[in-house]
Amino acid sequence: MVATQETIDKVKEVSSTYKYGFVTDLEAEKAPLGLGEDIVKFISHKKKEPKWLLDWRLKAYKKWLSMEAPNWAMVDFPKINFQDIYYYSAPKTKPKLNSLDEVDPELLRTYEKLGIPIKEQEVLAGVAVDYVFDSVSVATTFREKLAKEGIIFCPISEAVQTHPDLVQKYIGSVIPISDNYYAALNSAVFTDGSFVYIPKGVKCPMELSTYFRINEQNSGQFERTLIIAEDDTYVSYLEGCTAPQRDENQLHAAVVELVAMNNAEIKYSTVQNWYPGDKDGNGGIYNFVTKRGNCIGKKSKISWTQVETGSAITWKYPSCVLKGDDSVGEFYSVAVANNAQQADTGTKMIHIGKNTKSTIISKGISAGKAQNTYRGQVQIQKNAKGSRNFTQCDSLLIGDKCGAHTVPYINQFTPHARVEHEATTSKISEDQLFYCLQRGLDTEQATSLIVNGFCKEVMKELPMEFAVEAQKLIGISLEGSVG
Amino acid sequence: MSLLEIKNVKLKLDDKDILKGLSLSVSKGEVHAIMGPNGSGKSTLSYMLAGRDGYELESGEVFLEGQSLSDMEADERARSGLFLAFQYPVELPGVGGMSFLREAVNSRRKFLGEEELDHLAFVKEARKVASKMFVKDEMLKRAVNVGFSGGEKKRFEILQMAMLKPKVSILDETDSGLDVDALKIVSDGVNAQRNDDNAIVVITHYQRLLDYIVPDFVHILSDGSIIKSGGPELALEVEKNGYAGLINAA
Ligand SMILES: Nc1ncnc2c1ncn2[C@@H]1O[C@H](COP(=O)(O)OP(=O)(O)O)[C@@H](O)[C@H]1O
Ligand SMILES: [Mg+2]
């Protein structure tokens, strides 16, 4: 538990400024600036990829060229110049993976600053972490223990080499390259990410975790994660993100695909605190992410839990396609937007199989001048008889310059299903604040307590160590918003 | 030296004079009762003392253990040992009673330079105090004041008082909405905390509470100022003749 405490302490000492705003001074190996077929080939070549993958990337690139950036989200930002981004960046002193001792000490210090001790014995109790540093995974822990169970947990670039059949079978199977603009872009230029395979009948004995970090200036990060859970399995995956403080905006366009077979359960948790930009909206991460899970098997279950406190713009709709009869999809979300942050996030629940069930609990918190939108789609297809959805969207406003919006889309093609939607909007009342102050809590403690109370239903879905960290982060990201 | 010294305070709300030159001196070991009809300014007085936003003084001054409160925010006053049991305790959805109590107690301990209690020690202490107040463990797990009955809310207020060990406690109509049994429990809870080092100001509309919490002094508040002070017998006079008789005589 040493590591957990360390992480918590780290978060505690954070002041009102973004604490992860340091830059690691590593010489990076970059692809030339900009995007073109040659860059796609460069990336594929760097990664020594098989031809099918290069072809797949090129197809995605061509598709992307023909697509338009979506403009339906309630977010506002200048047009992105895709020629002004580096699509590949790797630390030059590329360490071998034999031992953690060989990892660049500078890199280790970066992780220490992030509060994630890289040394195996210090890794969060029972958490195996696959570190992604810019585009190359530099260290993977607990691999051996997992391998004993037949579990594969490695960088996806490595899986392409060691398990090409699995990757080829499932990549793009949940989110096809033509799905949307940013997914197409990711398919063309993704550099790394995690790959998880849980063989039949195995319950993964520990939480799997990846910390993503964008370091190189002007480098977009395009991770790609693929998790496959065979029949009768369980896996819980944690994703945490931070990025250094920069004046420019950085693009982050990830794709995450989940596949759950019969009776398989995947729990995917995210705590996202990418740099949100300054008070006036300068800098910060553009977080345009496509996440989707296929509940292919009967009685399969996919559960998304997200705590989104960072990024200048969040555009993200982790979704579930409920194909298998009796399959279950869940979405638990806390989205905090302060100052000039804009969040447009929600989920899609597509009910295809019979007696499928989905639950959506969304808690949006807006402060400063921020705009926070919940956008959710519930679709009950014709054969999804006996299906049920329950949606609850609560918004909390802090101050009177921010906004909260709820945009539910419900498409029901059979009468034999039940869809319920509840929405509330509230403010932190002066009475509540005064009550807390009268008990000796300061304004920030009080706000944090009230906000965390508001988010409780979602927070309790997070694994313990993450919940503590997430609570602190919410407090930190709202600092200065009251009083 | 008095623990709480209120010196000729005047306060307006919405341009209306509410407190009109009120003075009161409370010393260690004393229990004072402030009685007054509805609308006489009792809650306003308690909010003003606690430092609620919007209840700033027009003139006059208040001292806690000799220290002026004028530049102290509500939370600093609380940490310094001023406690207000609310007439209407506020609901905090999703905020567990135990964690709320713990944050409050640790804030006070930190201020006093005492070590913060770890989780186990705290829970043990809270349970001990709670059982004396007939507060069930289950209630501490629920969200603060959410779905509590009137009696439960008041018991929880006094439980917080017992945990925080304030110097000066102001109890604003702690008896309202309580049946006789609950009144007895709450009063026992308050009486158990009387000692030579602290002071309690009981604000009430009815004499009834003062049968249980017997005050050393009774003050009659009317239209924003204290019109009469005396011993416990003054409360009986109110009971007999009503406020009107006293106010007219003043
Ligand atoms: N926020 C406010 N703005 C204006 N007048 C107020 C406000 N709050 C209370 N008052 C008035 O101040 C007077 C005293 O109220 P209060 O202190 O609540 O009395 P009590 O607690 O003795 O019943 C009443 O006339 C009430 O209407
Ligand atoms: Mg009152």
pLDDT tens digit sequence for A1-31: 233 344 334 333 433 344 555 455 555 567 7
Evaluate: CB of B39 within 6 angstroms of ligand 1. yes
CA distance B43 to B11: 12
Tell whether the model's pLDDT for residue B114 goes beyond 80: yes
In ligand 1, the atom with minimum distance to the C-alpha of B46 is: 17
CA distance B179 to A12: 45
CA distances from A180 to A59, A67, A259, A290 (A): 14, 8, 19, 8
Evaluate: CB of B41 within 6 angstroms of ligand 1. yes
How many residues make up chain B in this entry? 250
Query: How far off is chain B from A9, nearest CA to CA, in Å?
Result: 16
Per-residue model confidence as pLDDT tens digits over B35-56: 999 999 999 999 999 999 999 9
Rg of chain B, C-alpha, whole Å: 18
B78–A453 CB contact, under 8 Å: no
Q: What single DSSP character describes residue A268?
A: E
Judged by a CB distance cut-off of 8 A, whether residue B164 touches chain A is yes
Tell whether the model's pLDDT for residue A70 goes beyond 60: yes
Residue nearest to atom 25 of ligand 1 (CA): B39
- If DSSP codes are grouped into helix, strand and coil, which group holds residue A225? strand
Evaluate: CB of B224 within 6 angstroms of ligand 1. no
Quickly list DSSP for B135-203. Answer: --HHHHHSBTTTT--HHHHHHHHHHHHHHH--SEEEEESTTTT--HHHHHHHHHHHHTT--TT-EEEEE
- If DSSP codes are grouped into helix, strand and coil, which group holds residue A237? strand
State residue A358's pLDDT score. 97
In a domain, A103, yes or no: yes
Residue nearest to atom 18 of ligand 1 (CA): B43
State residue A131's pLDDT score. 58
Q: Which residues of B touch A429 (CB under 8 A)?
A: 90
State residue A24's pLDDT score. 54
Per-residue model confidence as pLDDT tens digits over A244-259: 555 566 788 899 999 9
Contact indicator for A264, A230 with CB cutoff of 8 Å: yes
Tell whether the model's pLDDT for residue A147 goes beyond 90: no
Instruction: Tell me what the mean pLDDT of segment A274-293 comes to.
Output: 82
Q: Which one is predicted more confidently, A184 or A145?
A: A184
Instruction: Tell me what the mean pLDDT of segment A401-420 comes to.
Output: 90
Judged by a CB distance cut-off of 8 A, whether residue A8 touches chain B is no
Query: How far off is chain B from A307, nearest CA to CA, in Å?
Result: 17
Contact indicator for A182, A211 with CB cutoff of 8 Å: no
Q: What single DSSP character describes residue A219?
A: B
Instruction: Tell me what the mean pLDDT of segment B76-93 comes to.
Output: 96
Contact indicator for A244, A22 with CB cutoff of 8 Å: yes
Show the DSSP H helices in A66-193 as ranges.
Answer: 105-114, 143-148, 156-162, 164-170, 181-189
B94–A439 CB contact, under 8 Å: no
Q: Which amino acid is at A380?
A: I
Q: Which amino acid is at B221?
A: L
State residue A330's pLDDT score. 97
Residue of chain A nearest B160, judged by CA positions = A439
Provide the token pair at A126. 């029972």
Q: Closest Cα to residue B136, out of B119, B121, B149?
A: B149
Contact indicator for A356, A384 with CB cutoff of 8 Å: yes
B73–A437 CB contact, under 8 Å: yes
State residue B47's pLDDT score. 97
CA B203 / ligand 2 centre spacing (Å): 8
Inter-chain contacts counted by CB atoms under 8 A, chains A and B: 72
CA dihedral B16, B18, B23, B29 (to 10 degrees): -150
- If DSSP codes are grouped into helix, strand and coil, which group holds residue B133? coil
Nearest to A440 among B75, B92, B143 (CB): B75
State residue A112's pLDDT score. 58
CA dihedral B117, B120, B126, B132 (to 10 degrees): -130
- If DSSP codes are grouped into helix, strand and coil, which group holds residue A371? strand
Q: Closest Cα to residue A26, out of A216, A179, A198, A214?
A: A216
Per-residue model confidence as pLDDT tens digits over A345-368: 899 999 999 999 999 999 998 888
State residue A1's pLDDT score. 29
CA distance A282 to A241: 20
- If DSSP codes are grouped into helix, strand and coil, which group holds residue B96? strand
**How far from the centroid of its chain's Cα atoms is residue B227's Cα?**
21
Q: What single DSSP character describes residue A4?
A: H
Q: How many contiguous H segments (helices) and E segments (strands) does chain A have?
A: 12, 23
Tell whether the model's pLDDT for residue B134 goes beyond 60: yes
Q: What single DSSP character describes residue A51?
A: H
State residue A9's pLDDT score. 42
CA distances from A199 to A205, A253, A321 (A): 13, 29, 21
Report angle CA B18, B22, B23 to the nearest 5 degrees.
160
Provide the token pair at B40. 């006489």
Contact indicator for A56, A177 with CB cutoff of 8 Å: yes
State residue A17's pLDDT score. 45
State residue A115's pLDDT score. 52
CA distance A171 to A178: 13
CA atoms within 13 A on the CB side of A376: 31
Q: Which residues of B touch A439 (CB under 8 A)?
A: 78, 100, 103-104, 107, 160, 164
Provide the pLDDT confidence category of residue A121 given band limits of 50, 70 and 90. Answer: very low
CA distance A129 to B220: 68
B78–A454 CB contact, under 8 Å: no
In terms of residue numbers, what domain contains A22?
5-477
Residues 74-93 of B with CB under 8 A from A: 74-75, 78-79, 83-84, 86, 89-93
Q: Which residues of A touch B74 (CB under 8 A)?
A: 434, 437-438
B74–A441 CB contact, under 8 Å: no
Instruction: Tell me what the mean pLDDT of segment A311-327 comes to.
Output: 92
> Relative to the alpha carbon of B55, which ligand is closest?
1
> Relative to the alpha carbon of B220, which ligand is closest?
1
The residue with tokens 């919405």 is: B14
Provide the token pair at B177. 């909405």
In a domain, A114, yes or no: yes
A438–B84 CB contact, under 8 Å: yes
Tell me the backbone φ, ψ of residue A27, rounded to 5 degrees: -70, 125
Domains of chain B: 4-95+167-249 (3.40.50.300)
Tell whether the model's pLDDT for residue A110 goes beyond 60: no
Per-residue model confidence as pLDDT tens digits over B145-196: 999 988 889 999 999 999 999 999 999 999 888 888 889 989 999 999 999 9
Q: What is the ipTM of this complex?
A: 0.96
CA distance A87 to A222: 8
In a domain, A307, yes or no: yes
Instruction: Tell me what the mean pLDDT of segment B127-137 comes to.
Output: 84
Q: Where are the beta strands (DSSP E) in A3-84?
A: 28-30
> Relative to the alpha carbon of B176, which ligand is closest?
2
Contact indicator for A229, A265 with CB cutoff of 8 Å: yes
Residues 391-450 of A with CB under 8 A from B: 429-432, 434-443, 445-446, 449-450
Instruction: Tell me what the mean pLDDT of segment A392-408 comes to.
Output: 88
| Structural domain count of chain A | 1
Residue nearest to atom 10 of ligand 1 (CA): B13
Contact indicator for A321, A295 with CB cutoff of 8 Å: yes
A 10 A CB-CB count for B106 gives 18
In a domain, A409, yes or no: yes
Residue nearest to atom 2 of ligand 1 (CA): B13
Provide the pLDDT confidence category of residue A85 given band limits of 50, 70 and 90. Answer: confident
Judged by a CB distance cut-off of 8 A, whether residue A1 touches chain B is no
Tell whether the model's pLDDT for residue A283 goes beyond 50: yes
Residue nearest to atom 5 of ligand 1 (CA): B13
Which residues have CB under 8 Å from B241's CB, separation 6+? none
A434–B111 CB contact, under 8 Å: no
A 10 A CB-CB count for A12 gives 12
CA distance A422 to A420: 7
Which residues have CB under 8 Å from B90's CB, separation 6+? A429, A431, A432, A434, A435, B144, B145
A 10 A CB-CB count for A301 gives 24
State residue A157's pLDDT score. 87
Evaluate: CB of B42 within 6 angstroms of ligand 1. yes
In a domain, A482, yes or no: no
> Relative to the alpha carbon of B173, which ligand is closest?
2
Provide the token pair at A201. 């009948």
CA distance B122 to A468: 19
Tell me the backbone φ, ψ of residue A116, rounded to 5 degrees: -115, 95
CA distance A215 to A309: 19
State residue B206's pLDDT score. 86
Instruction: Tell me what the mean pLDDT of segment A145-159 comes to.
Output: 87
Provide the pLDDT confidence category of residue A107 given band limits of 50, 70 and 90. Answer: low
Quickly list DSSP for B13-76. Answer: ETTEEEEEEEEEEE-TT-EEEEE--TTSSHHHHHHHHHT-TT---SEEEEEETTEE-TT--HHH
- If DSSP codes are grouped into helix, strand and coil, which group holds residue A169? helix
Ordered strands of the A127-133 beta sheet: A136-140, A127-133, A207-213, A234-242, A265-272, A301-308, A328-337, A357-367, A387-398, A417-427
Tell whether the model's pLDDT for residue B225 goes beyond 50: yes
CA distances from B89 to A443, B146, B195 (A): 18, 10, 25
Largest CA distance in chain A: 67
State residue A246's pLDDT score. 54
Q: Which of B8-22, B127-141, B234-248 has the largest mean confidence?
A: B8-22
